[in-house]
């Protein structure tokens, strides 16, 4: 009886194939791979990135240097560039040590004002004291991102005035007049030209200082009653008002 070999073509195996061998893998690509990161940018783009990085490093270096010179003890470099350092640091990046040793603040300081009004009938009237600092505190409460003006304008203005005057309110700096004008304009922006139907003719400021009570676990005791420092009455002029308020103020003066 004649035996027959299996027909490989009928079994689906091509000539020369191996039924048990793996399928042939495709040949790998031999072309160059694209560069990644900065190396993949065009020459112009690389220059732009390099300039941006250099500018960022320069700004950070200048900012950190100005902050260091601002809080460091006075030295030749900080005295020479004092005005430039102040322009960089103030008001957004002010630094001070008042919260820390050696002398943390233990007193709450509020700025209060009252006004002398010129009434339509020709008479005069004085208002009661208005706590401007408390008004700022109310504006800050509940605000997750209060403006720098609300937080620091009045406080910094008052510090500026006290730094240029002694305890008897006498000028001790050639910037004393500028400090007075600055504080007057801050106050008049809040009061406005007219109060209680009367034109604001003069204002008087005072500082109310109250020592912070000692903590419950402390044996220390001290007086927490407020003490006051009153300034003289200041005459208000049109230059102390915003442009939008000057016309109303001048009409009431006639």
pLDDT, tens digit, 9 for 90 and up, residues 183-233: 999 999 999 999 999 999 999 999 999 998 888 888 888 888 999 999 999
Spatial separation of the C-alpha atoms in residues 121 and 197, rounded to whole Å: 11
Instruction: Return all residues near 228 (Cβ < 8 A) that are at least 6 apart.
Output: 206, 207, 208, 209
- Residue with the larger pLDDT of the pair 6 and 209: 209
Q: Average model confidence (pLDDT) for the chain?
A: 83
pLDDT attached to residue 232? 95
Spatial separation of the C-alpha atoms in residues 229 and 110, rounded to whole Å: 11
pLDDT attached to residue 183? 95
pTM: 0.63
Which segments of the chain are extended strands (E)?
107-118, 124-126, 130-131, 194-195, 198-211, 227-230, 234-235
Spatial separation of the C-alpha atoms in residues 160 and 227, rounded to whole Å: 20
Spatial separation of the C-alpha atoms in residues 236 and 231, rounded to whole Å: 15
Spatial separation of the C-alpha atoms in residues 58 and 120, rounded to whole Å: 60
Paired residues of 122 in beta bridges: none
Kind and range of the H or E run holding 46: helix 43-71
Q: How does pLDDT run across 60-88, given as a tens digit for each residue?
A: 999 888 888 887 888 888 888 888 888 88
Q: What angle do CA 183, 180, 86 make, to 5 degrees?
A: 75
């Amino acid at each position: 009886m004649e035996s027959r070999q299996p027909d490989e073509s009928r079994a689906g195996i091509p000539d020369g194939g191996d039924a048990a061998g793996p399928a042939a893998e495709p040949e790998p690509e031999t072309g160059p791979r694209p560069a990644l990161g900065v190396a993949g940018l065009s020459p112009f783009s690389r220059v732009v990135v390099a300039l941006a990085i250099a500018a960022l490093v320069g700004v950070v270096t200048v900012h950190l240097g100005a902050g260091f010179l601002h809080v460091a003890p006075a030295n030749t470099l900080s005295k020479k560039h004092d005005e430039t350092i102040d322009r960089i640091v103030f008001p957004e990046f002010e630094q001070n040590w008042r919260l820390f040793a050696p002398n943390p603040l233990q007193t709450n300081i509020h700025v209060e004002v009252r006004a002398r009004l010129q009434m339509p009938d020709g008479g005069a009237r004085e208002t009661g004291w208005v706590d401007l600092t408390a008004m700022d505190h109310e504006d800050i409460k509940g605000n997750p991102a209060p403006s720098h003006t609300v937080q620091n304008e009045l406080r910094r203005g008052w510090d500026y005035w006290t730094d240029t005057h002694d305890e008897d309110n006498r000028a001790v700096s050639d910037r004393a007049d500028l400090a007075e004008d600055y504080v007057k304009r801050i106050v008049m922006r809040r009061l406005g030209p007219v109060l209680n139907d009367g034109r604001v003719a003069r204002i008087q400021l005072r500082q109310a200082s109250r020592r912070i009570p000692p903590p419950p676990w402390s044996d220390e005791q001290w007086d927490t009653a407020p003490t006051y420092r009153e300034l003289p009455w200041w005459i208000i002029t049109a230059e102390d008002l915003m442009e939008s308020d000057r016309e109303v103020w001048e009409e009431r003066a006639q």
